[in-house]
Amino acid sequence: MYQEILGTIVEPITIHTLGGQSTITIYNQDFMVIVNASGNSYHVDEALFNTVYQRYQQLPTEDRVRAGQYTHPLWEDCPNLISPPYIAAVINHFTI
């Protein structure tokens, strides 16, 4: 799914976060870059994306859009404490 999404991003795309109160912008720089509303950028490689995607698929549908499902303590093996909720928003945007 990572490569499929990356292939569709020709120009930066701005989407809402899972909570809907903020936005993130997704860039294709031969890898995914997510920039939050504060201007902080996060490099997303395919391995991290796939880990979050697996988590997304394991969750019940109603929990997939809850940012807390992608950080501690609800996700004990969370590989990164900041970018997974943003990655989940990307997945959700392109899945719907």
User: Which phi and psi angles does 83 have, rounded to 5°?
Assistant: -80, -25
pLDDT digits (tens, 9 = 90+) for 41-85: 999 999 999 999 999 999 999 999 999 999 999 999 999 989 999
For helices 46-58 and 84-95, what crossing angle results, to 10°? 70
State pTM to two decimals: 0.95
- Burial zone of 59 (CB within 10 Å; 0-12 exposed, 13-18 middle, 19+ buried): middle
Domain region containing 7: 2-95
Domain count, the chain: 1
